[in-house]
Amino acid sequence: MLLFGLLIIAGIAVQPVSNALFSPWAWSLTGRSTLPGYWHGQMPFGRDAQRRVAMNLRAVECRRCTNDVEGEATVCAAGRSIHYEFSGEVADRNATHFTLSLFAYPDPRAPGTHLNSLDGTWAGGDEISLTGKLEVTNADGSWTSDKQPTEPTRFRLHRGTEADFTSAC
């Protein structure tokens, strides 16, 4: 009976240790910063507009899944907010580089300028650097190449809290 109990305890302990060894960007046994969490800041959105942005990034715990991260983001616009869901991958076990694909919700074809994808870098601290691709959706829900921004948007987000995320706009 004692052996059975020890096996159960060992089995329970293996998962967190395995996560910390193979995905230290997502799981820390030492208390160091991890990539998952709440992030917030300002981003250039179009010509001279600065918009507040908040993100909740989570690690995906499925070993057979193709995505490493998922979450939600909110971009504040004049009198409204644009909500996104995203998923993505980290490039290495320290997540020094990661990519996210974003989808506006509830309507991905809503008119306006939207984030399409983000490429990020993270040095293991409380700041991430992001380069985003913006796309313009026309009033009829169509997408035309001559109206798309030519330059990516570059910005930094800082570690935040759930309150920063929920009160972003």
For residue 75, pLDDT beyond 70: yes
pLDDT at 16 over 60: no
| 17 domain residue, yes or no | no
Cβ–Cβ under 8 Å, residues 59 and 87: no
Residue 23 lies in a domain: no
CATH number of domain containing 149: 2.40.128
Mean pLDDT throughout 21-29?
67
pLDDT at 10: 46
Q: Poorest-confidence range of 38-42, 111-115, 121-125?
A: 111-115
Range of the domain at 40: 33-166
Top pLDDT among 6 and 166 is at 166
Tell whether 16 is covered by a domain. Answer: no
132 falls within a domain: yes
Name which residue leads in pLDDT, 7 or 137: 137
Domain annotation covers residue 46: yes
Whole-angstrom distance, CA of residue 49 vs CA of residue 15: 45
Is position 12 within any domain? no
Q: pTM for this one?
A: 0.82
Asked whether residue 129 is domain-assigned, the answer is: yes
Distance of CA 32 to the CA centre of its chain: 19
Does a structural domain hold residue 119?
A: yes
DSSP string, 86-140: EEEEESSTT-SEEEEEEEEES-TT-SEEEEEEEEEEE-SSSEEEEEEEEEEE-TT
**What's residue 67's pLDDT?**
82
Q: Which of 16-25, 57-66, 113-122 has the lowest mean pLDDT?
A: 16-25
pLDDT above 70 as % of the chain: 81
Whether 2 has a pLDDT exceeding 80, the answer reads no
Mean pLDDT of the chain: 83
Q: The tokens of 130 are what?
A: 């992001």
Q: Is pLDDT of 82 > 80? A: yes
Q: How many domains does the chain have?
A: 1
